[in-house]
Amino acid sequence: MPRLSTHVLDLVSGRPAQGVHITLHRLAADGARHLVASAITNADGRTDAPLMADSAFTTGTYELAFHIGGYFAARRQRGFLDIVPLRFIIDEPEGNYHVPLLASPWSYSTYRGS
């Protein structure tokens, strides 16, 4: 079953980041953006369901936007980052893609998991 999932870790507290707003857009060749999913992370820092799965899963260029600034502001932590956009290509129609975000108010890291 192909799917796209994510999770967010708060590197300041060393815990999952609950309450981060995430959007997923598919980017068309003409530059148009199409909203695929919108979610809020749960207590485990994950979305309750995959952002894209099964018949909705298609190859192409996508952008995950993590609204990390609001998350840290709600915890009274001033920071530098607001929205972290991650653009990536899905080129395996039967693949599993896991795109985590490890974030602090000032920096972030990501990778393709499985």
CATH code of 16's domain: 2.60.40.180
Q: What is the pTM of this model?
A: 0.94
- C-alpha angle 44/47/50, rounded to 5°? 130
pLDDT tens per residue, range 62-105:
999 999 999 999 999 988 999 999 999 999 988 899 999 999 99
Which domain range does residue 12 map to? 3-110
109: number of Cβ within 10 Å: 11
Separation CA 79–CA 103 (nearest Å): 11
**Average pLDDT for the chain:** 95
Separation CA 98–CA 38 (nearest Å): 16
Phi then psi for residue 72, to 5 deg, are -70, -35
Separation CA 97–CA 43 (nearest Å): 21
Overall number of domains in the chain: 1
